[in-house]
Chain A
Amino acid sequence: MQALLEYAIVGGVLYGIFFGLVAVGLNLIFGVMRIINLAHGEFVILGGFGAYWVSHSLGLNPLWGLPLAALGAVVIGFPLYYAVVPGLQRSRDPEMLSFILFFGLAQIIDAIISLGFGPDQRSLPDEALGGGTISVLGQAFPDSWWVAAGVSVLAILGLWLYLTRTRLGFATRAIMANRDEAYATGISVDKVSAIAFIIGLALAGAAGVFVPYLQGSVGPGIGNSLTTTSFAILIIGSLGNPVGTLFGGLVFGVGSMLMQTFYASWSDLVPYVLLVVIVLVRPQGLFGKAVRHA
């Protein structure tokens, strides 16, 4: 019993830290642009397929999927931002219309992945990230889980430093606080937002590299559940705060693992129940101030 509990908690912490990374890109984009990137889960999947391609076709370590994700985010994100975001922000109902537009985009990406790679689930070799296990409290987890959690912490920390220690980060936070005032103070809102958009996509793609390890495999069709789970996590952790998202990931991860250990068939409910309850009881998130931009 105690061993099971320890297993669930250690596993939940690793799993949760990783899910902090899965969700943090969605948080950044929503915080800065007030746009719900409903294709977020699909960008995560693209990252996973990138890693698969790097590992299978080029024979490299799947970790090369990380720089590939960053490159892909620039190549896709830059034109995508200028094609749709400024137009949406001038429209009648930016939040809802962007929601629908990105939902369409999710369908496009999903279809392209299915057409390009086939509908199969893909997995990656364990040996590439060590292949052994590391134990804490006598609970052994594969090296890949520890690598994923380590990269996630570094990425989230990096984002936090960017937002709190750099000029661009200050500008980004100013836009999060009030877009119009940021504009009035001479911040080039579009440029800073485009960079935030690209960072958000890059973080999603980077998370995707580890999805085959943490979830067992990656394939088209899991995008929706990744997006909803990310949304639940970002709401738990409150908007605009990457450290809050990490915390939200931990709540989700430990909750999920406890359910999986003790009531396995109900564990899929965790993100959805968390989402509905938090959105109703405390929509500003556990860390957020009592402001709601719903």
Chain B
Amino acid sequence: MRESWFKRARAGLITAAVLALVFSLAPNVYNNSSLLFMMMTYIVLSQGLNLLYGFTGYLPFGYVGFFGTGAYATALLVMKLHLPIGLAIAAGPIASMIVALVLGPLLRLSGAYFSIANLAASQILFIVIGNPNLQDITGGPYGVKIDEVYNPTASYAAMVVLVVVVTLIATFFRRSRFGQGLKAMADDPVSAEMSAIPVVRMRLLAWLTSAAVAGLAGALYAWNLSVFYPDAVFTLEISVFAIVFALFGGVGTVLGPIIGAGLLYALYNAIGISEPQYFQLIYGVLIVGLVMFLPEGILSLLTRRGINVF
């Protein structure tokens, strides 16, 4: 017997409501709203990466490519075509989904081959967009500027909405037949195929969803920042952080990436900005320790005690 959709979605609705409440009220008590904005961005990115890695086993090392694509699509449409900001933001995820479709054949590869090829693809995007020869089109290494639409309050509110939406998408992945099918494929694609799960189509859907999430995050990030260089939205550090945060909390769950990104991004702010090497050392040690002792993330400490983690 399957439970009613409401019962299945309840934990997700509660999580989303708590996040919305926390991030809507936080600026009243803590005035560094750019930090809060970045924390939400990383919650979204870690969750978006979790949609792919946690449910299909494909680790997208070049995840930042979708983020940068979304940011650039939005910025360039405002700069060159003077589109209203709402439309330009909608174009962000569309652009990153187009990139994901073009890179679709990478899904034929598995494991590390996929990860490295995806990393290479994001570097290609970075080198092309930041290329001095394309300065007339993309702004090249000198970046883009859309300060005419700068609106920190509205972009902050939009990011809160995105956090809610991504949490609900993750809930769907976690609690629906679709998500179960993805996990079955990750465990054993051949058996899944034989159980009439449309492996290729579902994997592509997860890939596109994950890309769209990063694209939308990039679009909102561009709006919030309004002036940026290509390396700000294509730096590999963004992929790295999203991976580390998601792994730390625990992939394949809804709460894991949220907790991982929240805790580690706060830690990054406490020590990472003034002493980036120490932070790098800490998360390097964290990754090695996690793989060796807690490959399912810190939430598995609860799972091991029989507590079912959402």
Number of CB contacts from chain A to chain B under 8 A = 119
B200 CB, min distance to chain A CBs, angstroms: 16
Q: Is the CB of A294 within 8 A of B111?
A: yes
Q: Pick the residue among B109, B288, B295 that contacts A283 (CB under 8 A).
A: B109
Given contacts A111-B278, A266-B131, A275-B116, contact A104 B109 (CB under 8 A): no
The reply to whether B109 and A272 form a contact with Cβ atoms under 8 Å apart is no
Q: Is the CB of B121 within 8 A of A108?
A: no
Show 15 residue pairs from A and B whose CB-CB distance is below 8 angstroms, ordered by the A residue: A84-B292, A95-B112, A99-B111, A101-B291, A104-B283, A104-B286, A110-B284, A115-B278, A228-B120, A231-B116, A265-B131, A276-B117, A280-B117, A283-B109, A294-B109
- Cβ contacts under 8 Å, A269 to chain B: 124, 127-128
Nearest CB in chain A to that of B291: its residue:
A101
A182 to chain B: closest CB distance in Å?
22
- B117 touching A104, Cβ below 8 Å: no
* CB pair A96 B278 closer than 8 Å: no
List 9 other contacts, CB 8 Å, given A105-B284, A294-B112: A97-B291, A97-B295, A99-B111, A100-B59, A100-B287, A107-B287, A108-B280, A265-B131, A271-B120
Query: Please, what's the 1-or-0 string for B240-280, where 1 marks a CB less than 8 Å from any CB in chain A?
Result: 10010001000000000000000000000000000001101
6 tightest Cβ-Cβ pairs between the two chains A and B: A104-B287, A107-B284, A108-B284, A111-B281, A272-B120, A111-B280
**Contact call A272/B121, Cβ cutoff below 8 A:** yes
User: From residue 87 to 144 of chain A, which have CB atoms closer than 8 A to chain B?
Assistant: 87-88, 91-93, 95-97, 99-101, 103-112, 114-115
- Interface residue count for A (Cβ, 8 Å)? 42
A99 touches B115 (CB 8 A): yes
CA–CA, A108 to B277, complex, Å?
Answer: 9
Nearest residue in B to A225 (C-beta to C-beta)? B123
- Using A110-B280, A265-B131 as known contacts, say yes or no to A279 and B117 having CB atoms under 8 A apart: yes
**Which residues from A are CB-within-8-Å of B111?**
93, 95-96, 99, 294
* A275 with B117: CB separation less than 8 A: yes
Q: How far is the CA of A105 from the CA of B128 in the complex (A)?
A: 30
Chain A residues whose C-beta falls within 8 Å of the C-beta of B57 in the assembled complex: 93, 96
Chain A hits for B287, CB < 8 A: 100-101, 103-104, 107
Interface assignment of A180: CB less than 8 Å from any CB of chain B: no
Q: How far is the CB of A152 from chain B (nearest CB, A)?
A: 23
Most buried by A among B116, B128, B247: B116
Contacts of B131 in A (CB 8 A): 265-266
Residues of B within 8 A of A108 (CB): 280-281, 284-285, 288
Q: Is B113 an interface residue (CB 8 A)?
A: yes
**Which chain B residues border A110 with CB–CB below 8 Å?**
280, 284
**A273 interface contact, C-beta 8 A:** yes
- Whole-angstrom distance between the Cβ of A273 and the nearest chain B Cβ: 6
Residues of chain B lying within 8 A (CB to CB) of residue A95 = 111-112
**Interface flag for B106 (CB, 8 Å):** yes
A108 (CB) vs chain B CBs: closest residue: B284
CA–CA, A103 and B287, complex, Å: 8
A202 contacts B by Cβ under 8 Å = no
A106 to B112, CA, bound (A): 16
How long is the Cα–Cα vector from A114 to B278 in the complex, in angstroms? 10
Q: Which B residues lie within 8 Å of A107 (CB)?
A: 240, 280-281, 283-284, 287
Minimal Cβ-Cβ distance residue in A for B289: A104
Residue of B nearest to A95 (CB): B111
Interface, chain B (partner A; CB < 8 A): 57, 59, 105-106, 108-113, 115-117, 119-121, 123-124, 127-128, 131-133, 236, 240, 243, 247, 277-278, 280-281, 283-288, 290-292, 295
Smallest Cβ distance from A234 to chain B, in angstroms?
Answer: 11
CA distance A276 to B102 in the complex (A): 12
Q: A105-B288, A272-B121 are in contact. Are A112 and B116 (CB under 8 A)?
A: no
Chain A residues with Cβ below 8 Å from B117 are 275-276, 279-280
Question: Which residues from A are CB-within-8-Å of B247?
Answer: 100
CB distance from B272 to the nearest CB of A (A): 11
Most buried by A among B117, B124, B236, B295: B117
Q: Which residue of A lies closest to B109 (CB)?
A: A294
Task: Write the nearest CB–CB distance from A217 to chain B, whole angstroms.
Answer: 19
Separation of A232 and B117 alpha carbons in the complex (Å)? 9
CB distance from A102 to the nearest CB of B (A): 9
Contact A265 B132 (CB under 8 A): yes
Q: Known A104-B285, A104-B286; judge A115-B120 contact (CB<8 A).
A: no
- Say yes or no: B284 contacts A280, CB within 8 Å: no
A269 to B115, CA, bound (A): 18
| Residues in A242-271 with C-beta less than 8 Å from chain B | 265-266, 268-269, 271
Q: B116: which A residues are within 8 A, CB to CB?
A: 36, 228, 231, 275, 279
- Asked if B280 and A104 sit within 8 Å, CB to CB, the answer is no
Does A224 interact with chain B (Cβ within 8 Å)? Answer: yes
Chain B hits for A114, CB < 8 A: 277, 280
CB distance from A84 to the nearest CB of B (A): 7
Chain B residues with Cβ below 8 Å from A92 are 295
Residue in A87, A100, A103, A276 whose beta carbon sits within 8 Å of that of B124 in the complex: A276
Asked if A279 contacts B113 (CB within 8 A), the reply is yes
Complex-state Cα separation, A115 to B290, whole angstroms: 23
Q: Given A265-B133, A280-B117, do A99 and B284 touch, yes or no (CB 8 Å)?
A: no
B106's partner among A109, A266, A280 (CB-CB below 8 A) is A280
Instruction: Return chain B residues, CB-CB under 8 Å to A228.
Output: 116, 119-120, 123
**A97 proximity list for chain B (CB < 8 A):** 291, 295
Which residue of B is nearest A274, CB measured? B120
